[in-house]
Structure 1
Amino acid sequence: MSAEVTFALPSPYGPRTATVRYHREGSGSPLLLLHGIGHHWQAWGPVLPALAARHEVVAVDLPGFGTSPALPDGVPYGLEAAVPTVGAFCAALGIERPHVAGNSLGGLLALGLGRAGLARSVTALSPAGFWTEPERRYAFAVLAGMRLGARTLPRSAVERLARSAAGRALLVSSIYARPGRRSPEGAIGETRALREATGFAPTLAAGRSVRFTGDVPGVPVTIAWGTRDRLLVRRQGLRALHEIPGARLVRLPGCGHVPMSDDPELVGRVILDGCAAAA
């Protein structure tokens, strides 16, 4: 089921509101899924059946991404504002302390929610925020290049490229280790999402000063990294473990930066195991 909710932003940004669109399915304890920068909730499609068999899954289009409108003028996109905003979204849906899984930007937000006491468990797939400055500059340059390509390519060219595995590799190989496994519809949809993301530029700007430091106490944390992640290289997982020494660090063999399509069975199992750790 796809739906939307409008809710009051937390202090100090109220009484303004935000509108978030999301997909909800399954039953059981709630599991919130948060995508990366420039993406949309459909990134989780390959793992949704396995997750929804055990949990009530809520996959979100973050503000300014997918089909969710941008935040109101003057509301920042940085981590300090994003965490309480996602918390207010959960409260509007009547969800209290869900399990949270996130990828890239979504992984950083998941860790922030865990540290704020707003998550029951956290699974972060290649989370942002554990980079050195050269690594951050490289990743941001790749992301900016992907955005430029998505905005420059005519839609007819995107549709034509998406029809073949080689064409999909040209479109999405920066984030997938196995781009041929992405469906043509998926490649077209995420290229469009990247092109139209009103939150892309302010989120990228806010991320220039982001470093995740400090522990996430009292919450089971799983950090998972693809061995073929070319955007945020896997040694950043060791830095994450240094900051969060109680976390479980998991390798995702053969997976890229967005691993849900590269190996849905493995990623689904890692997320479910992370949720089970909260029991």
Structure 2
Amino acid sequence: MSATVSFEVTSPLGPQPVTLSYARVGRGEPLLLLHGIGHHRQAWDPVVDILATEREVIAVDLPGFGASPALPCGLAHDLPTMSAALRALCEELELGRPHVAGNSLGGLLALELGRDRLVRSVTALSPAGFWTQGERRYAFAVLTGMRRIAERMPLPLVQRLARSAAGRAVLTSTIYARPGRRSAEAVVAETLALAGATGFTETLRAGATVRFTDDVPGIPVTVAWGAKDRLLVPRQGVRAKQIIPRARLVRLPGCGHVPMNDDPALVARVILDGSGLRRDRARAR
């Protein structure tokens, strides 16, 4: 069920209130799910039911995305502030040190939380931050173009396009390798989420100088990349492995930038394997 939680985050202007929207389902060790820029927590819907059979799943709308309002004046939409907000979220929900899985921006945030030892394990799906400057500029240009189209496209046209597989491909083929698998309702909802994302511009601007250059020692890390990722190209996964040498690097055949929709069973298995549950059970046998 959808819920909201409010807490305070420190800023140069003093403590500032932050409110995040989230959904919580399942039983087991907590697993925090973080979406990418311009998306919303429903990006995880294709895998949530599978994950919830073995995990307590908390899917959150990041600040300024989905149903979560933008950060208040005095708080920047940058990595340190978002990480602080997620840390406060975990404390407020009494999650302890959860497992975390993230996609794109969410994958980068998951690695940030892992580097700071705030989580038990990290699974990063096509995480941001392993790009060259040219690759970053390309990705940002594509994202900006998608945002402008979403903002300007009339809702009746979005709904009409979403009714056909070809139309869904027009709207979402940049992020999905198999856009026809996405439901019409989900495509309409995520197009509206992109158009209405109050944190989009500031978050994208804050990412202009971001690169992830640190190892993440001491916890299990999985980096998984869609073989058909058209936004953050798969060779960035090789760089991630070089920077985090103990990470498990997984190729996701037939998957695009947001792989949860393209192959839910594969992505769920990668996340559960990455959090150690299946390996622990195998050792117990």
Q: TM-score, normalised by structure 1?
A: 0.98
1:147-181 per-residue CA deviation (whole Å, 9 max, x = no partner) reads: 00100100010000000000000000000000000
Superposition pairs of residues 88-237 of structure 1, within 5 angstroms: 88-237=88-237
Look up the match of 2:272: 272
Q: Secondary structure of 2:209's partner?
A: coil
Aligned partner letter, 2:102: G
- CA distance change for structure 1 residues 178 and 142 in 2, over 3 Å: closer, same or farther? same
Look up the match of 2:2: 2
Q: Distance in 1 between matches of 2:68 and 2:152?
A: 22
> Which stretches in structure 2 are left out of the alignment for 5+ residues?
281-285
Look up the match of 2:256: 256
Task: Confirm whether residue 245 of structure 1 aligns to residue 279 of structure 2.
Answer: no
Deviates more, 1:12-21 or 1:112-121: 12-21
Q: Secondary structure of 2:265's partner?
A: helix
Q: CA deviation at 1:74?
A: 2.1
Contact between 1:38 and 1:200, CA under 8 Å: does it hold in 2?
yes
Aligned partner letter, 2:4: E
Deviates more, 1:14-23 or 1:151-160: 14-23
Q: Distance in 2 between matches of 1:103 and 1:10?
A: 26
Q: Distance in 1 between matches of 2:20 and 2:13?
A: 16
Q: Distance in 1 between matches of 2:262 and 2:13?
A: 39
Superposition pairs of residues 57-96 of structure 1, within 5 angstroms: 57-96=57-96
Q: CA deviation at 1:82?
A: 1.4
List 4+ stretches of structure 1 deviating above 3 A. 10-14
Aligned partner letter, 2:19: T
Q: CA deviation at 1:13?
A: 6.0
- CA distance change for structure 1 residues 13 and 126 in 2, over 3 Å: closer, same or farther? farther
Q: CA deviation at 1:15?
A: 1.7
Look up the match of 1:37: 37
Aligned partner letter, 2:64: G
Q: Distance in 2 between matches of 1:151 and 1:13?
A: 32
Aligned partner letter, 1:222: T
Contact between 2:229 and 2:257, CA under 8 Å: does it hold in 1?
yes
Q: CA deviation at 1:11?
A: 5.4
1:206-239 per-residue CA deviation (whole Å, 9 max, x = no partner) reads: 0000000010111100000000000000000000
Aligned partner letter, 2:225: W
Look up the match of 1:28: 28
- CA distance change for structure 1 residues 94 and 173 in 2, over 3 Å: closer, same or farther? same
1:127-166 per-residue CA deviation (whole Å, 9 max, x = no partner) reads: 0000000000000000000000100100010000000000
Q: Distance in 1 between matches of 2:238 and 2:12?
A: 35
Q: CA deviation at 1:78?
A: 1.1
Q: Distance in 1 between matches of 2:269 and 2:134?
A: 33
Contact between 1:8 and 1:14, CA under 8 Å: does it hold in 2?
no
Q: Distance in 2 between matches of 1:118 and 1:257?
A: 26
Q: Secondary structure of 1:208's partner?
A: helix
Q: CA deviation at 1:276?
A: 1.2
Q: Distance in 1 between matches of 2:258 and 2:92?
A: 28
> Which stretches in structure 1 are left out of the alignment for 5+ residues?
none
Contact between 2:16 and 2:75, CA under 8 Å: does it hold in 1?
no
Contact between 1:111 and 1:124, CA under 8 Å: does it hold in 2?
yes
Q: Distance in 2 between matches of 1:10 and 1:176?
A: 37
- Aligned positions, number: 279
- CA distance change for structure 1 residues 131 and 117 in 2, over 3 Å: closer, same or farther? same
Contact between 1:10 and 1:88, CA under 8 Å: does it hold in 2?
no
Q: Secondary structure of 1:175's partner?
A: coil
